[in-house]
Amino acid sequence: EAGVAQSPRYKIIEKRQSVAFWCNPISGHATLYWYQQILGQGPKLLIQFQNNGVVDDSQLPKDRFSAERLKGVDSTLKIQPAKLEDSAVYLCASSLGGGTSNHEQFFGPGTRLTVL
Amino acid sequence: QKEVEQNSGPLSVPEGAIASLNCTYSDRGSQSFFWYRQYSGKSPELIMFIYSNGDKEDGRFTAQLNKASQYVSLLIRDSQPSDSATYLCAVKSNSGYALNFGKGTSLLVTP
């Protein structure tokens, strides 16, 4: 079974530029998550989708971050404009269920973003 | 703010010893508790989850939960150098959707 795919794996941009990340979850997984992991910290949830609807985006900085999951499969996360503090690894995860269920979340390899 | 606290370490144990990793949480409504392992430069992978007070064993790993004390721990028996990684504690409440992660504890198993 293929895992969660993410691209690109690495990205270096200048501050105020824009960047987009792509995620393809495990086939059949209804729930997709985007996490931000700053060096030395645990992952922080940015947004959670159940199929193509948003169920939690309370920690997403909506003035600069946006995400979509068209057709309930692939997802993109965009940052515009980027700030220095956005330097982090952006992890995509997926699970069979979501909401208050406890289905295991499987993580992709992540995209390491460096903002100069 | 719902907090999940872990000692960042590093925790150093000799090969073959028991490693004990601890986690405390602030949200009394938390119902599900997860331990993830993250190797340097890699993504987290689930080791164990626990919902009920007491111990849960899976091979060399034992998770312990005490909801009254808001404390969850992970024991690794017969530690191996390959266990050297960061261990992330994650907590989920019944009313919420998100996993709330701690900062992780770095474990080093020395040969």
What pLDDT is attached to residue A100? 54
The residue that leads in pLDDT, B50 or B93, is B50
Rounded to a whole number of angstroms, the distance from the CA of A78 to the nearest CA of chain B is 20
User: For residue A47, which residues of chain B lie inside 8 Å, CB to CB?
Assistant: none
CB-based contact (8 Å) between A109 and chain B?
Answer: yes
B24-77 pLDDT tens trace? 999 888 889 999 999 999 999 999 999 889 999 999 999 999 999 999 999 999
Closest residue to B99, CB basis, from A45, A99, A110:
A45
**CA separation for the pair A100, A96 (Å, rounded):** 12
**CA separation for the pair B83, A24 (Å, rounded):** 29
**CA separation for the pair B15, B19 (Å, rounded):** 10
Looking at chain A, which residue has its C-alpha nearest residue B44?
A: A107
What pLDDT is attached to residue B5? 96
Q: Do A41 and B103 touch (CB under 8 A)?
A: yes
- The b/e string for A20-46 (b: 16+ C-beta within 10 A; e otherwise) is ebebbbbeebbbbbbbbbeeeebbbbb
Query: Could you give the residue ranges of the DSSP H alpha helices within A40-116?
Result: none
pLDDT at B94 over 70: no
How far the first Cα of chain B sits from its last, in Å, is: 40
A13-62 pLDDT tens trace? 999 999 999 999 999 999 999 999 999 999 999 999 998 899 889 999 99
Rounded to a whole number of angstroms, the distance from the CA of A3 to the nearest CA of chain B is 12
- Least confident span in A103-107, B30-34, B67-71, B83-87: A103-107
Closest residue to B101, CB basis, from A42, A56, A110:
A42
Mean pLDDT, rounded, for B3-16: 94
Q: Do A100 and B96 touch (CB under 8 A)?
A: yes
- Report the share of chain A in percent with pLDDT over 90: 79
Ordered strands of the B54-58 beta sheet = B4-5, B19-25, B71-76, B61-66, B54-58
pLDDT band at B82 (very low <50, low <70, confident <90, very high): very high
Q: Do A105 and B51 touch (CB under 8 A)?
A: no
Looking at chain A, which residue has its C-alpha nearest residue B87?
A: A42
What pLDDT is attached to residue B101? 94
Kindly report the backbone phi and psi dihedral angles of residue B8, in degrees, each rounded to the nearest multiple of 5, phi listed first: -70, -20
> Residues 72..91 of A with a Cβ closer than 8 Å to B: which?
91
Closest residue to B97, CB basis, from A40, A48, A109:
A48
